[in-house]
Structure 1
Amino acid sequence: MQSQTFHIGGDGGISIAAEATGNADALPVLLAHGGGQTRHAWKRVTADLANAGFRAIAIDMRGHGDSEWSAEGAYETRDFASDLVAIASKIDRKPALVGASLGGLAGLIAEGHLAPGRFASLTLVDIAPRMETGGVMRVVGFMEEHVETGFSSPDEAAEVIARYMPHRRKRGAGKGLRRYLREKEDGRYYWHWDPAFIRNITLAKRSDPAHQERQFDALNDAASRLSLPLHIIRGGSSDLVSEDAVAQLLELAPHAEYTDIAEATHMVVGDANDAFSAVILDFLKRNHSAQGAVT
């Protein structure tokens, strides 16, 4: 099925790259990836959604992939959330939102605080207001490790990824990996996102110990305000979101549905794409008609 690539205005007019797959008249499903990823993380999911009658719209979050970098280094959760609200306002039908990790945090703030009622439903992929410190530091450490020095080749990047995700079958430096890298004039390959994104995260943790607790409180408050159909999907082997964290979220939003995908880590979509697509399609079909009107 053919896809259409285009740019759409995020908050403040920042240019956001997007790729739409499926019938233009179908219910739009907006897909927001995790930190350090791009819209290509959803490649197989977008095909599954389109084949099921939905219109999948995968975006590159600001500072990632082919989207514009923020000149001011505006990469707080609220900045990403504001982009989601701006994008949704430009779509002719209220979209269902699926957010993985960073995308899910942004979705919580977007629907819970910035624009309640903007989305038809919200799916949070291995994310909750309370995150495990060890899992967060592992992700941040991986992203920090080569942000300044880059890689001598895509093969070196593939080796680093294999060490980070030893549970997966090792993959070579194919076309998929190259989408996450940029070759610069020095001949080295760098991650396809703005280094200021990770620098801001680490700076906030080091200079403001209360920053994480304030974010937790804001996310908790946002979750408690949700009334739309809500789906929480956790990787059964996640080191970032515990079962206790999900239980806390379900106390705040008791109407939510919860799915645990046993064979997946925090990288649910990449670890168990078929299982993920099955549960998300089940949720969307029960809560929305792909072709019918969305209130």
Structure 2
Amino acid sequence: MTSDLKIPSTDVTLAADHWGDPAATPVVLLHGGGQTRHSWGATGRDLAGAGWYTLSADLRGHGDSGWSPDGVYDLDRLAGDVRAIVEHLGSRPVLVGASMGGIAALAAIGQQPDLALGLVLVDVSPFLQAAGAGRIRAFMTSRPEGFASLEEVADAVAEYLPHRPRPRNPEGLRKNLRERDGRFFWHWDPAVMRAPTEHPVQRDPRIDSARLGAAAAGLRVPTLLVRGGASDVLSAEDARHFLDLVPHAEFHDVAGAHHMVAGDDNAVFDQVLGDFLERRVRNRLTR
């Protein structure tokens, strides 16, 4: 892995890690809200081992990427960042996006249909469950005062993700935090979850079902939707609605996985992703 890649995008600079041969077909991994590029580490390494050039970037306002100077994190900004990453690569990639990263990828392809070789959406679509999305928002907007210790952080994560074992060693959480004045704060800009004043407080301006639905209906690239079988964000009905819009799309339900599918069952997710890439992208390129 090579770290600390910097990609300029309008008003911010994006941080990224990359694996594999830059001459190989690229796969761009885009994490969900509240995550960082590190959430794709195992997947990035596995794909590089299978002959793909893999890049995982921090979304704006997350990790080591820049924060929007004006505090705006709307679809246009996110989609523009995806286009900046593709421009940096110099060739069309497969876009793999989880949650917010998937919304960004879909919006970018909606603006530029020939942007990518393929699209993989992980537990996200233009249609989502408000309760599940609200749970994420509640977690990301909690604890503005930060944490006194890494143990407190581990407790908060365990409460948010009760289906996962509590980390035995909380030191691994440091990469998701920023330390200031002896306290630990989440790595994301608090403005990421702050809706602009022209929108109701409870509405996320990034979840624009009409705009994203139109982008989905216009998809002409190989597409895969992966759902966590236990997800409270993307319901089975939401998935069916997406597949009605995109009849050529493939679908896989990862039994027992929650919203953060790759983190809950990375082995199954990587197998599903690798199979899709081989059949629908690599085989198509080598014909």
Would you say 1:92 and 2:90 are equivalent positions?
Answer: yes
Report if aligned partners of 1:33, 1:100 keep a CA contact under 8 Å in 2.
yes
Q: For residue 179 of structure 2, what is the aligned residue in structure 1?
A: 183
Q: Choose the corresponding residue for 1:151, options 140, 147, 150.
A: 147
Equivalent residues in 2 for 1:205-284, closer than 5 Å: 205-206=200-201, 215-284=208-277
Residue 82 of structure 1: CA displacement? 1.0
Cα RMSD (Å) of the superposition? Answer: 2.1
Q: For residue 78 of structure 1, what is the aligned residue in structure 2?
A: 76
Unaligned runs of 5+ in 1: none
State the secondary structure of the residue aligned to 1:90: helix
**C-alpha distance in structure 2 between counterparts of 1:108 and 1:213, whole Å:** 11
Q: For residue 132 of structure 1, what is the aligned residue in structure 2?
A: 129
Report if aligned partners of 1:7, 1:18 keep a CA contact under 8 Å in 2.
yes
TM-score, with length taken from structure 1: 0.92
**C-alpha distance in structure 2 between counterparts of 1:228 and 1:53, whole Å:** 21
Q: Choose the corresponding residue for 2:55, options 51, 54, 57.
A: 57
**C-alpha distance in structure 2 between counterparts of 1:41 and 1:205, whole Å:** 31
Q: Choose the corresponding residue for 1:198, options 193, 200, 207.
A: 193
Residue 154 of structure 1: CA displacement? 1.3
> How many residues are treated as equivalent by the alignment?
287
Residue 92 of structure 1: CA displacement? 2.4
Task: From the superposition, tell whether residues 14 and 223 of structure 1 become closer, same or farther in structure 2 (CA, over 3 Å).
Answer: same
Report if aligned partners of 1:9, 1:15 keep a CA contact under 8 Å in 2.
yes
**C-alpha distance in structure 2 between counterparts of 1:102 and 1:265, whole Å:** 15
Residue 3 of structure 1: CA displacement? 2.5
Report if aligned partners of 1:84, 1:106 keep a CA contact under 8 Å in 2.
yes
**C-alpha distance in structure 2 between counterparts of 1:259 and 1:56, whole Å:** 22
Residue 201 of structure 1: CA displacement? 7.1
Report if aligned partners of 1:205, 1:212 keep a CA contact under 8 Å in 2.
no
Q: Choose the corresponding residue for 1:28, options 15, 26, 29.
A: 26
For residues 175-212 of structure 1, give each alpha carbon's deviation from its aligned partner in whole angstroms, at most 9, with x where no partner exists: 4311100101x2110000111111237984427x6x76
Report if aligned partners of 2:95, 2:119 keep a CA contact under 8 Å in 1.
yes
**C-alpha distance in structure 2 between counterparts of 1:260 and 1:68, whole Å:** 34
**C-alpha distance in structure 1 between counterparts of 2:196 and 2:176, whole Å:** 20
Report if aligned partners of 1:93, 1:294 keep a CA contact under 8 Å in 2.
no
State the secondary structure of the residue aligned to 2:23: coil
Residue 74 of structure 1: CA displacement? 1.9
**C-alpha distance in structure 1 between counterparts of 2:256 and 2:196, whole Å:** 29
Whichever residue aligns with residue 125 of structure 1, its letter is V
Residue 44 of structure 1: CA displacement? 0.7
Q: For residue 9 of structure 1, what is the aligned residue in structure 2?
A: 8
Residue 240 of structure 1: CA displacement? 0.4
Unaligned runs of 5+ in 2: none
TM-score, with length taken from structure 2: 0.94
**C-alpha distance in structure 2 between counterparts of 1:54 and 1:102, whole Å:** 23
